[in-house]
Amino acid sequence: MKLVRYGARGAEKPGLIDSDGRIRDLSAHVADIAGDVLANLEQLQAIDPASLPLVEGNPRYGACVGQIGKFICIGLNYSDHAAESGMAVPPEPVIFAKYTSAVCGPHDDIIIPRGSEKTDWEVELAFVIGKPGKYIVEADAMNHVAGFCVCNDVSERAYQTERSGQWSKGKSSDNFGPIGPWLVTRDEVANPNDLHMWLKVNGAQMQNGSTNTMVYQIPFLVSYLSQFFTLHPGDVISTGTPPGVGLGMKPPQYLKAGDVVELGIEGLGEQRQICVNDL
């Protein structure tokens, strides 16, 4: 299933994408694509999409998961990206928080924070927790994953590394966390560690990679994170970016108002954002 949330920001309704690519309304069955719904996807899988009301027009897509408890990002998880950032692949995963106020829809504007000169892009594979768990063993890890989505881990490099302390300041500005358009359930993704991923800025290809060069893969990450805290339904974990970010260019290239960012991952859909200044 491809699950979506659609409609005005803050008032999104749950839906799914039918075999013709149209949105069907799920709101008679569930209140949101969130929480326990993600731990019990069987109830949605049992519904015939043709029995659901068709959604007319072209509504906005919201973030594909609601009520996100934790939004965790994995840093430096592609060896080539670590090299372009001038950092070594760490002996254990680097994790950092993207505060959930950053969450937005896949086609919402990227808002460049006031005074920012180093707003950057990162196409990433994110996964969403379904079944909760703590001290999860790697062999059982995928049973805790509800599905996958595209994430642009938008980053302000100066706030991230030049303003002291941890990275969250540079990762959590409003609209720095577009996820979606779809939450693609686990059964539809044969191998999450072999997906083509790409990102363009104003039509120019910047990132062109594959999840097959990820250092710490998803079963390990689920197990690893669950040693430190319980993973809950609706937690989102973004797994790091391949090479080709603005920081790694010579000279570095950053986003400015009017720039158009397009990104996607094989089987998980595409995002498109326009950059605007925060006034």
The footprint of Zn ion (CB under 5 A) covers 122, 153, 241
Cβ closest to Zn ion, residue 241 vs residue 271: 241
**From the CB of 242, what's the least distance to Zn ion, in Å?**
10
Cβ closest to Zn ion, residue 61 vs residue 121: 121
CB-CB contact of 150 with 228 (8 Å): no
**From the CB of 52, what's the least distance to Zn ion, in Å?**
35
The whole-angstrom separation of Cα 133 and Cα 188 is: 22
**From the CB of 274, what's the least distance to Zn ion, in Å?**
21
Strands 177-178 and 103-104: parallel
The whole-angstrom separation of Cα 176 and Cα 102 is: 5
How many residues appear in the chain? 279
Q: What is the DSSP letter of 138?
A: G
Cβ closest to Zn ion, residue 125 vs residue 222: 125
**From the CB of 241, what's the least distance to Zn ion, in Å?**
5
Q: Please say whether the dihedral angle defined by the alpha carbons of residues 78, 254, 204 and 86, taken in this order, is positive or negative.
A: negative
Cβ closest to Zn ion, residue 123 vs residue 222: 123
Apex 78 CA angle, 74 and 80, nearest 5: 145
